[in-house]
Amino acid sequence: MSLFSAADKATITGVILAGGRGSRMGGNDKGLLLYRNQPLYQHVLYRLRPQVDRVWINANRNIALYQQSGLPVIRDTLADFPGPLAGMLSALLQAETEWLAFSSCDTPHLPDNLVEHLWRHKGLAKAVWARAEQRDHPTLALLHRDLAGLLAQYLARGERKLLLFLQQAGGHSVEFSLTGRAFDNINRPEDLIDR
């Protein structure tokens, strides 16, 4: 098992995916919805930042609000909100590091060892994603920037299924033994009420 060193961490850019339509949230920008008195994306940022060298935000609206974080904000290169893969493609095309760790903006309890655990179990794969309690979490993923071309072709064919792309790219899931709220998504307005 490889160790996760400072040098490894320096090869990884974290990307918070906040570029969706917010369809299940009445069209609201999900990353900016308040959870525990803070925008959702800030919870993710708090947990992701210590795990990577730098963090970007992928957003397609309310850019000025996201820029208030002081982080670079990148937009999809494709129009019409085609899903998380479009945000991933934009980041892969602009990557200065070899690896990118992705998280959806709606996972406020993100594990604090997400990136390290994915890194340690990636083997030779250029794509790995989290799996816990018999469920895949493909937006919590570690991708090599070399996948940009393959992803661009996949999207150009009209494909949008994230998990299918990761599998076709030769990736595999990485099992997490964490239970509870670590992988909870905020998908509906009622999920914003802290229980």
Mapped to the 3 state alphabet, what secondary structure does the chain carry?
Answer: CCCCCHHHHCCEEEEEEECCCCHHHCCCCHHHCEECCEEHHHHHHHHHHHHCCEEEEEECCCHHHHHCCCCCEECCCCCCCCCHHHHHHHHHHHCCCCEEEEEECCCCCCCCCHHHHHHHCCCCCCEEEEEECCEEEEEEEEEEHHHHHHHHHHHHCCCCCHHHHHHHCCCEEEEECCCCCCCCCCCCHHHHCCC
Residues 118-125 have a mean pLDDT of: 96
Residues 94-110 have a mean pLDDT of: 94
83 vs 55, residue with greater confidence = 55
Strands 54-59 and 38-39: unpaired
Residues 117-139 have a mean pLDDT of: 95
Domains of the chain, each with CATH number or no CATH: 6-189 (3.90.550.10)
Mean pLDDT for all residues in the chain: 89
Closest CA relative to residue 56, chosen from 41, 72, 44? 72
- At 145 the pLDDT is 97
- At 4 the pLDDT is 78
Work out the pLDDT band at 80, boundaries 50, 70, 90.
confident
pTM of the model as a whole:
0.91
- At 195 the pLDDT is 47
Beta bridge partners of 99: 12, 144
Q: Which tens digits make up the pLDDT trace of 31-48?
A: 998 888 999 999 999 999
Work out the pLDDT band at 26, boundaries 50, 70, 90.
low
Residues 168-192 have a mean pLDDT of: 79
Closest CA relative to residue 73, chosen from 48, 90, 50? 90
- At 129 the pLDDT is 98
| pLDDT above 50 for 132 | yes
| pLDDT above 50 for 74 | yes
| pLDDT above 90 for 67 | yes
